[in-house]
Chain A
Amino acid sequence: MSVPRFWRKQPQRYNIIGTKCETCGSHFYPPRTICPQCRRDGKIVDHKFRGTGKVVTFSIIRTASEPYDYEAPFPIAIIELDEGTRMTAPVVCDLDEMEIGMPVQATFRKIVADGDSGMIVYGTKFVPVK
């Protein structure tokens, strides 16, 4: 794992920071620098997503590659954020709780640790809204 590469992505991993087009109101995650609708007329600014949304669809990962294998089985979902863009992220819940349309919210979790002496990577996962 590359420490600098991780560090550059920290803002997007810790908080869901994307962009929005002030001209047409579209939100983008991962961040876009040009609005595909407005092109040259678009005004792109940073946007911190609220972190609430719902599950559009999901898959249960039963055989994960190292170093995620010890957490399997776990769900990975496409989540539609309330502002109106989609992202892929793990959901932390019982497998039988997973449901299309389930409201979720962002939570802060450990993503992976590089052995016993390397860096610990933190980021965003989702949990069901209780």
Chain B
Amino acid sequence: MVGIITYGAYIPRFRVKTEEIARVWGANGAEIAAGLGVMEKAVPDLDEDTLTMSVNAARFALDRRYVNPDEIGAIYVGSESHPYAVKPTAATVGEAIGATPVMTAADYEFACKAGTAGIQTCMGLVKSGMVKYGIAIGADVAQGAPGDALEYTAAAGGAAFVIGNEDVIAEINHTCSFTTDTPDFWRREGQDYPRHGGRFSGEPAYFKHIQGAARMMLEKMGTEPSDYDYAVFHQPNAKFPRNVAAMLGFTAEQIKPGLAVPRLGNTYSGAVPVGLSATLDIAKPGDRIFVTSYGSGSGSDAFDITVTDAIETLIDRKAAPSVEDLLNNKKYIDYAVYAKHKGKIVRAA
């Protein structure tokens, strides 16, 4: 059955605390951190972007398990921060892992769910026999305008999944999606920062679409939330996934391993991929994982996943850093250094 062959996550090592951002804007940091459930967020190094994180995540996936690069037939990178407006991130990833030239590639964008859209595309290509392996990556250097509410959470990170048909470490039993045209968040061409539709961002956007896709999945599979060991929901902050989990009937324990946002921030297209990676880091054979992403604009992709025995026999999870390792490898920076890292301030010519 189609599923995950191997996986890898990447998180830069710099962190800025929510309280430090609040200090600059004269806001109450402790209150904001508690309200969002986000204590700190990951910040890229000066020489890191969505492409470098995508390559490093893909290489970590391949460190865990050998996959013949010539058999990788497709690479999709989902992000809203591709370094070029025109020139595919996915082709450079292919070159950097030795999968070129006999492969197809494209960059995806669907706000925060472009990474899971890539997983679905790879599933289709693998199931139809068009490719043996496909790689789906979700990664972002998330943008939030200085002083905007999004600045407290917009973070950097991502994860890569090799999708295939044989000897999978986790079977993807089913996937389904729920999509509408909803103006909750957007960024026009050439603009540095996104804008959001205020009251559109909660109920009619995140909650409606995640519940739409999740309920469709439970109905189709004939399952209850208690049939799953773990659940991963899109995590723009810690409050939204906790609330949507409760609305659907999932417990705080089920979402805990995949809830990276309190120490990571919102990595946009990287959020669910990193959360799923963190869950796979600790999963045992037979564990069942419920996953639902969310991308503004708006849509949700749901996945029903069962971990197989191969997670203990066919991959070496220790051959690459776990999400916990990546979260613990950190260096705090202040707002000024953070602003330089994100290109918010530049040296005069």
> Which residues of chain A have a CB within 8 Å of any CB of chain B?
10, 14-15, 48, 69-71, 92, 94, 107-111, 120, 122, 125, 130
Q: Give the contact stretch, choosing among B42-50, B119-127, B152-160, B234-242.
A: B42-50
Tell me the chain B residues, 19-71 only, with Cβ under 8 Å from chain A. Answer: 45-49, 51-52, 55-56, 59
Contacts of B48 in A (CB 8 A): 109-110
User: Is the CB–CB distance between A120 and B331 below 8 Å?
Assistant: no
Q: How far is the CA of A83 from the CA of B48 in the complex (A)?
A: 28
User: Given that A10-B95, A14-B96 are known contacts, is A122 also in contact with B52, CB under 8 Å in the complex?
Assistant: yes
- Can you identify 6 A-B contacts, CB atoms within 8 angstroms? A70-B46, A107-B52, A107-B56, A108-B96, A109-B52, A130-B329
Is B98 an interface position by the 8 A CB rule?
yes
Number of interface residues of B (CB under 8 A): 23
Q: How far is the CA of A15 from the CA of B92 in the complex (A)?
A: 12
User: Is the CB–CB distance between A15 and B47 below 8 Å?
Assistant: no
Is B203 an interface position by the 8 A CB rule?
no
* Closest beta carbon of chain B to A75's beta carbon, Å: 13
Contacts of B98 in A (CB 8 A): 15, 48
* Closest beta carbon of chain B to A21's beta carbon, Å: 22
When C-beta atoms are compared, the residue in chain B nearest to A51 turns out to be: B59
Tell me the chain B residues, 66-85 only, with Cβ under 8 Å from chain A. Answer: 83-84
User: Given that A122-B52, A130-B329 are known contacts, is A92 also in contact with B95, CB under 8 Å in the complex?
Assistant: no
User: Is the CB–CB distance between A111 and B84 below 8 Å?
Assistant: no
User: Is the CB–CB distance between A130 and B325 below 8 Å?
Assistant: yes
Contacts of B46 in A (CB 8 A): 70-71
Tell me the chain B residues, 297-343 only, with Cβ under 8 Å from chain A. Answer: 321, 325, 329, 331, 340
When C-beta atoms are compared, the residue in chain A nearest to B59 turns out to be: A108
Is B347 an interface position by the 8 A CB rule?
yes
Q: How far is the CA of A130 from the CA of B329 in the complex (A)?
A: 8
User: Is the CB–CB distance between A109 and B47 below 8 Å?
Assistant: yes
Report which of B47, B55, B331 forms a contact with A111, defined as CB distance below 8 A: B47
* Closest beta carbon of chain B to A77's beta carbon, Å: 16
When C-beta atoms are compared, the residue in chain B nearest to A92 turns out to be: B45
Other contacts beyond A108-B59, A130-B329: 14, CB < 8 A: A14-B92, A14-B96, A15-B98, A69-B347, A70-B346, A71-B47, A92-B45, A92-B47, A109-B47, A109-B48, A110-B49, A110-B52, A122-B96, A130-B321
* Closest beta carbon of chain B to A73's beta carbon, Å: 12
B49, B55, B96 pick with most chain A CB within 10 angstroms: B96
User: Is the CB–CB distance between A15 and B96 below 8 Å?
Assistant: yes
Q: How far is the CA of A108 from the CA of B83 in the complex (A)?
A: 14
Q: How far is the CA of A10 from the CA of B59 in the complex (A)?
A: 17
Contacts of A14 in B (CB 8 A): 92, 95-96
User: Given that A15-B98, A71-B47 are known contacts, is A108 also in contact with B55, CB under 8 Å in the complex?
Assistant: yes
